[in-house]
Amino acid sequence: MKDYNQFMQQALELAARGRGYTSPNPMVGAVVVQDGKVVGKGYHHAAGEAHAEVNAIDDAGSKARNATIFVTLEPCNHFGRTPPCTEKILAAGLKKVVVAMRDPNPGVRGGGMQYLRQKGLDVVSGICEAEARQLNEVFIKYIQTQKPFVILKCAATLDGQIATRTGDSKWVTGKLARLHVHAVRNIVDAIMVGAGTVRQDDPSLTTRLEKGKGRDPHRVILDTRLLTPVSARLLHQASVAETYIAAGPVSANDDLLKRKTALEAAGAKIVTTPLKEGHVDLEVLMEKLGEAGITSLLIEGGGQVIGSALAAGIVDKVMFFYAPKILGGNDGVSICSGRGPDLMKDCVTLKDTRVARFGEDILVEGYIA
């Protein structure tokens, strides 16, 4: 079992190389092992390209016969953009398949392993399963709910404020923390902010990494009344990423219709939802973003957006950065705005929390319990 863990860890490390490029597919890695030695390696590079098992078997060549393949996700047994990996495994003459986790897709779960067992192969599953599930937490959420995995990020002072009374927020945290946020932008499908942030800061909402431009996420703006100016910088980026503006209902006799037409002419995609307490219904919006193929979403909004997202129950994971700064007043912008619970027991609680340092800044990260 110790050797199993060792080889599966190598497969997981390979899988992680596809981070940010495989959506809406999962990240998958595989190694082929013959006589206790790795003779083939592979991972899924991008959606539409060869799966990890195919790349590992091709890398192993003739050494794959009678070998064992370690793969981080159950091999597929259906035709998608590529042929079934189960057939590749059989054709290569492998004798054993070790799997980290079953495919979470309700329509195919267990089918690949069952098929291989029926063909006489020895199949073992559940090796490093927890690590495999965390690696593909986005895929698991999306394939089971058709809604994006939502990460809520904020940067605050030690006294819980994200901007001064004048709205100044540049910069709460230091360079290393900001670079980490851009690394997260590089791997998510979309980033969401409120219209107030757009009007005040005129952000680009692009990815800027030290070692290259990075991959831009789609941009989602919460703008109930479509007040985003057509001159906004995010509508005029040299980027393949789309800009979605989420608004309330638009009628033929509404001023919103004129603004909708102008924003669409500027390149925006307008997504409408019913209103909930006077604002975009975030639960409905998540359904619509899922329908658009967005599997992961990073929220970087202000206090109202953060409070609304938590209240709506759409958040899966939080990333709170705290800078070693104290604003020293109660007239700044708090992390959350809106009405909170009456009792401490009704707080939003986290599980599986961890703490990391980025220079002098502290990141507290965890999952909604």
Distance CA 103, CA 210 (A): 35
Burial of 130 (0-12, 13-18, 19+ CB in 10 A): exposed
Q: What pairing do the DSSP bridges indicate for beta strands 269-272 and 243-247?
A: parallel
343's tokens = 């009792």
> Rounded to 5 degrees, what are φ and ψ at 70?
-105, 125
Is 131 assigned a catalytic role? Answer: no
User: Residue 86 in contact with residue 75, Cβ under 8 Å?
Assistant: yes
Q: Where are the alpha helices (DSSP H) in the chain?
A: 2-15, 52-60, 85-92, 111-118, 129-135, 137-145, 175-185, 195-201, 255-265, 282-291, 303-312
Work out the number of other CB atoms within 10 angstroms of the CB of residue 240.
8
User: Residue 108 in contact with residue 79, Cβ under 8 Å?
Assistant: no
Distance CA 359, CA 178 (A): 11
Distance CA 218, CA 239 (A): 9
Q: What pairing do the DSSP bridges indicate for beta strands 218-222 and 243-247?
A: parallel
Nearest to 335 by CA among 303, 297, 289, 287: 303
- Tell me if residue 131 falls in helix, strand or coil: helix
Distance CA 369, CA 149 (A): 14
Work out the number of other CB atoms within 10 angstroms of the CB of residue 200.
14
Catalytic residue among 13, 49, 53, 210: 53
User: Residue 301 in contact with residue 197, Cβ under 8 Å?
Assistant: yes
Q: HEC string of 28-49? A: CEEEEEECCEEEEEEECCCCCC
* Residues labelled catalytic: 53
